[in-house]
Amino acid sequence: MTRPYPVPSATEEPLGSVTRVLALAAGNGEDVFTGGSLPQLSGRVYGGQVVAQGLLAAAATVPDGSDADRAVHSVHAYFMRGGQPDKDITFAVERLHDGRSFSQRRTTACQDGVAILSMISSYQEQQEGQEVQASPPQVPGPEELTSALEIFRTIDHPVAKFLGRTAAFDLRHVEGNLYLRPASQASSVQHLWMRARGRVPGDASQTVHRALLTYVCDQVMLEPVLRSQGLSWRSEGLSLATLDHAQWFHRDVDMNDWLLYAQDSPSSQGGRGMARAQVFDSMGRLVCTIAQEGMVRMPTSSSQGSGRWAIRVEDSEEPAAPTQPAEEAPTV
């Protein structure tokens, strides 16, 4: 029986809740693991959580399971169905290949025997090579910007209170956030800083740090699409869902450090939007590149959007919005 990948628990909340949910248990069978989910206002499992759990499930099967041997360098995932937070998720790992330098794994996440996500991840031994990278953009530092946590505290609504209580990462937008209203001018470019809200344990491996980056990035990846279309999270009738996710790790990641996301959206068409991000650490090193395509729909003369994923802040008794884009593929 393959042992789950070790994920030390953070002592501070709400980061501790994230580390605990990423710590999988052994499942029924070789290279099979199970995990739970954090509650979401959307009623659906958060997609970044499932990808991060799948990454850690696969890492448990990589030779020796240690970063000194092979750390994850790329992830490619497709979301097929929305998961239910009140049910366990089963992660079945297929060992595709173990070469001299690289290992590849296919992971399928299922609930009730039905696949909700399929992903392939690749792991590489630490090796020497030429160091070349893009230059980081020149933007204000995080200390000069307003934290999203402060914004949530100014809104007297259950959704904002939920976000302020459960957000495990501090987000600070350079061009202004999209929580309440669209940007003053439509743009396909966005920059933001992000850091863990609390300390990631000192004994957390590089694989755990990379899994945490995978977990959190899904919260903001599609925002450049919204920004380019003049939308916000509370746009009336908005329907949004992540369709697929690709991620490449270039250098070691420290989730206790401020990370700068330099994002853009090169195209929107057919009810889908594409978004990209380069992630730099506070020293200007490019640590990760991420790409996503998502379903982004608004009501038209011939069809009505469901509005099921929009954040609402108007007066109501019950919260009716997710904390981030849901992973559910759209029903057409």
Q: One of 53, 206, 214, 242 is an active-site residue; which one?
A: 242
| Among the listed residues 258, 151, 269, 262, the one whose alpha carbon sits nearest the alpha carbon of residue 197 | 258
Amino acid at 91: F
Q: Transcribe 253-282 into DSSP letters.
A: --TTS-EEEEEEEEEEETTEEEEEEEEE-T
Q: Which one of the listed residues 90, 207, 292, 323 is annotated catalytic? A: 292
Catalytic annotation present for 242 = yes
Q: Which residue has the tokens 């450090």?
A: 257
Known catalytic residue at 218: yes
Clarify whether 31 is annotated catalytic: no
Residue 176, token pair as written in the block:
């202004």
Residue with tokens 């991060």: 52
Beta strands in 39-146 (DSSP E): 70-79, 89-98, 102-111, 114-125
Asked whether 11 and 20 are in contact (CB, 8 A), the reply is no
Catalytic residue among 218, 254, 264, 281: 218
Tokens found for residue 70: 């092979």
Active site residues: 218, 242, 292
